[in-house]
Amino acid sequence: MLDQLENVGQTAQTELKDLTTGDGLEDWNSKYIGRKGEITQMLRRVGELPKEERPAFGKRANELRKELEVAYEAKAAAIKAVELEQTMAEGAIDVTLPGRPVARGRLHPSTQTLRRIYQIWAEMGFQVYRSRDVETDEMNFQLLNFPLHHPAREMQDTFYTTNPDVLLRTHTSPGQIRVMRDYYPEPIRVILPGMCYRHEQITARSEIQFYQVEGLAVGPGIRMSDLKGTLINFTKRLYGEGRPVRFRASHFPFTEPSAEMDVQCFLCDGEGCRICKYAGWLEILGCGMVHPTVLRNGGYDPNKYSGFAFGMGPERITMLRHGIEDIRYFWGNDLRFLEQF
């Protein structure tokens, strides 16, 4: 039986040298040194031998199995190295092939309009002033000539926090008070861009969040004609020379007198179309002379200083320019819409 054991060991070594694949190696392992392998089976039959032969046979069987296990590990490492080399050769990258095009990101349409507005006002000498999104009732309403229970508050449905005196700003106008208190007694010429929030039903024409760009100029001797000339110059830069504009009387609690500014529809040239509701004009902003009460709340003496303010919505300007009929597209994250810009 010992001779049979040696023959099995020699046969196993010979077959192992000829193996070239991992599958073949696993079959070899099962055949010789696995749980049902020949070496294992012979060890289980050691009880059939005479007592004096059992120690020598058991010792040699265990030694042979150890030798085959070591040979198996070495062969497995060699086969794995060869297979890895073949895999790398077959999957090698051809660096001479042209690369795949990488999709370029785009600026959001609102951001594009905002940057154009920033550029125009910077060229006209206005600085950007950032104000906070979370405001107090005093800053958002009271100091802007919205007393408590004033009916004009109903124009703006407000998001209040658990503290009834703290809210999400409904317009960028609170920045007027903050910038006046920061700049006093220096003259002011700033724009105040930012996000506004109103508790409104979301429709094609209204959203609960939207951008505004507020503008403020304060100094001695500023008149309504300065406001009109400044805004006419802005519209020329934004919409091009020769585009007719008009001012209509309006009302805002923080300006007096107040007006709204329209530009002739650039889609139909004033003939009337669906976008301008067949009026031939498009409303683009509200404006007016800063109310004396607001000047006083900002620290400026209205007997010595005057100023003008205006506010516009970049989304509205973008909608009018491109004929977009639903403001919800701006925040819907639909790439089919966004990639058009």
Listed by start position, the domains of the chain span 2-90, 109-338
Q: What local confidence, expressed as pLDDT, does residue 152 receive?
A: 63
Q: What local confidence, expressed as pLDDT, does residue 300 receive?
A: 96
Q: In this predicted model, what pLDDT tens digit does every residue of 176-213 receive, in sequence order?
A: 999 999 999 999 999 999 999 988 888 877 788 889 99
- Cα–Cα distance, 166 to 174 (Å, whole number): 13
Q: What local confidence, expressed as pLDDT, does residue 50 receive?
A: 75
Q: Are 227 and 247 in contact (CB under 8 A)?
A: no
Q: Tens-of-pLDDT digits for all 341 residues of the chain?
A: 666 767 777 787 777 787 878 788 788 778 777 777 777 777 777 667 777 767 776 777 777 778 878 887 888 888 888 877 877 777 667 778 788 888 788 889 999 999 999 999 999 999 999 999 999 999 998 999 887 777 766 666 888 888 988 999 999 999 999 999 999 999 999 999 999 998 888 887 778 888 999 999 999 999 999 999 999 999 999 888 888 899 999 999 999 999 999 988 877 777 887 777 788 888 889 999 999 999 999 999 999 999 999 999 888 888 877 878 888 888 888 888 888 88
Q: What local confidence, expressed as pLDDT, does residue 261 receive?
A: 94
Q: What local confidence, expressed as pLDDT, does residue 223 receive?
A: 96
pTM value?
0.66
Q: Is the dihedral of CA 160, 163, 164, 165 positive or negative?
A: negative
Q: What local confidence, expressed as pLDDT, does residue 229 receive?
A: 95
Q: What local confidence, expressed as pLDDT, does residue 302 receive?
A: 95
**Residues near 43 by beta carbon (within 8 Å), at least 6 away in sequence:** 58, 61, 62, 65
Residues in the chain: 341
Q: What local confidence, expressed as pLDDT, does residue 47 receive?
A: 67
Q: What local confidence, expressed as pLDDT, does residue 257 receive?
A: 95
The radius of gyration of the chain's CA atoms, rounded to the nearest angstrom, is 41
Q: What local confidence, expressed as pLDDT, does residue 40 receive?
A: 73
Q: What local confidence, expressed as pLDDT, does residue 286 receive?
A: 94
Q: Tell which residue, 254, 276, 259, has the closest CA to residue 267.
A: 276
Q: What local confidence, expressed as pLDDT, does residue 105 receive?
A: 81
CATH architecture of the domain with range 109-338 = 2-Layer Sandwich (3.30)
Q: What local confidence, expressed as pLDDT, does residue 1 receive?
A: 65
